[in-house]
Structure 1
């Protein structure tokens, strides 16, 4: 009996290790698919309240990747009351990333620290944490099987914070990620609170190839807050690559002076 008990335990460990390896391989393909030297995006953000009321905003996003780091700048262009509001992220190798939020009405930038990343971004259903690029070194991944999302085959992967720093920072106990088999893009993410409650769902669709590359992008996204019955949609009108951004694009000076 003892032998069979040990055998069952060892078999379970082997299956768990294999599931983790498969999960990481799937996420490596996601990373490869999303990795481009730079991107420029234009989009509309639509916030939808529980009573159906909508608030529309226009914004543009600049992304630059240097090695393992990604810099990004999000700028709101409409409506007039938030025009010029911007959010800058500069990823660093050996220290905390630099995150700055600029609000024209205050005429100054505010640093977003690691303790603030669970806050909502500009009143949307996305938190600052949700805007961060997936750092595979911060999480453990486990393959959970296959699923169908919007009629398409997908892999199902569980992501849990693996480093002490990430465990302390994150607002989620786990995420269940659905990766489209054909494009290797994340098309759905279920977010769970520290108490294990399913609190938010991210969905993405309208997958198209990026001109001049073999990469794909989703041109429609949404984040739904299941507790507040509130939803934020993103509709992309433009995605461009190889933009040759100016050298000071991702700086606090550009953040505050405008582009």
Structure 2
């Protein structure tokens, strides 16, 4: 299953912006990121998710979601159904995450109030996903060939040795789609899991921090069961999203019919 690399943070203000044209690919860094990509994460997963949206004043909105993910050969399909609160209930989100680098991932959002399914265009993938600090591009994995990687250094983080790796988009189109000019990711050396990251947002002068607060082994597979995503301008927190996973189950089999636009519109 291809990874949703929501990973990784720290105060990385000592890193300066890099011109993508000057970036050089580092074979060691690419080898590490390939191992991140190849890490075992199960073929069929079902879980409950709590999404907590926190504004700059500390006010919270809580959303409940049920989701499924399944491998289709080298591709991964995911579907999410919003259960609560009433204003988003029955909203659904479907993603086809393709392994083929030449093929754009497909995404659909079902809006029950309009009884309409919207296909997410490439130009819209840098916009916010359901009011959270994730965008639509964050909801799929990225192709390694879209980036030049540089191993910056090794250090300790929360009692674990990590590599700090810089990722620079190779093409302006990647920046346009993701909304990120560059990223620094923290990869744990013992399990190749991205546990923290900082991303430079192209518009608005923001930094977006990803921090895996809880990482657990479920059926022998590492799962981020709590992740914080924080958007900051300078030292000021503009918004924060907390994602919590519960009832994570890895299954031997899963109905392929779950992952269709028809099922998206039908709901759970």
**Does 2:261 align with 1:257?**
no
Q: Is the 8 A contact 1:48 1:232 kept in 2?
A: yes
SS where residue 226 of structure 1 aligns? strand
**Does 2:74 align with 1:65?**
no
Q: Which segment is superposed worse, 152-161 or 192-201?
A: 192-201
Q: Is the 8 A contact 2:232 2:239 kept in 1?
A: yes
Q: Which has the higher contact order (CA 8 A, sep 6+)?
A: 2
Q: Distance in 1 between matches of 2:148 and 2:247?
A: 33
Q: Who is 2:138 aligned against?
A: 130
Q: Who is 2:86 aligned against?
A: 80
Match of 1:236 among 231, 240, 245: 245
**Does 2:170 align with 1:162?**
yes
Q: Distance in 2 between matches of 1:206 and 1:251?
A: 31
SS where residue 32 of structure 2 aligns? helix
Q: Distance in 2 between matches of 1:131 and 1:177?
A: 17
| Structure ID, larger Rg | 1
Q: Who is 1:220 aligned against?
A: 226
1:163-242 alignment, distance < 5 Å: 163=171, 165-194=173-202, 197=205, 199-211=207-219, 213=220, 215-227=221-233, 229-242=238-251
Cα 1:43–1:196 change in 2 (3 A) is closer
Q: Is the 8 A contact 1:173 1:195 kept in 2?
A: no
CA-based RMSD of the aligned residues comes to: 2.1
Q: Who is 1:13 aligned against?
A: none
Query: When the two structures are superposed, what TM-score results if normalisation uses the length of structure 2?
Result: 0.83
Cα 1:31–1:235 change in 2 (3 A) is same
Q: Is the 8 A contact 1:40 1:240 kept in 2?
A: yes
Q: Is the 8 A contact 1:84 1:104 kept in 2?
A: yes
Cα 1:196–1:24 change in 2 (3 A) is farther
Cα 1:252–1:195 change in 2 (3 A) is closer
Cα 1:178–1:146 change in 2 (3 A) is same
Q: Number of aligned pairs?
A: 241
Q: Who is 1:32 aligned against?
A: 38
Q: Distance in 1 between matches of 2:103 and 2:36?
A: 25
Cα distance, 1:141 vs. partner? 1.4
Give the unaligned 5+ runs of structure 2.
1-22
1:102-121 alignment, distance < 5 Å: 102-121=110-129
Q: Is the 8 A contact 1:189 1:201 kept in 2?
A: yes
Cα distance, 1:122 vs. partner? 0.4
Q: Which has the higher helix share?
A: 1
Cα 1:30–1:160 change in 2 (3 A) is same
Q: Is the 8 A contact 1:41 1:238 kept in 2?
A: yes
Q: Is the 8 A contact 1:101 1:110 kept in 2?
A: yes
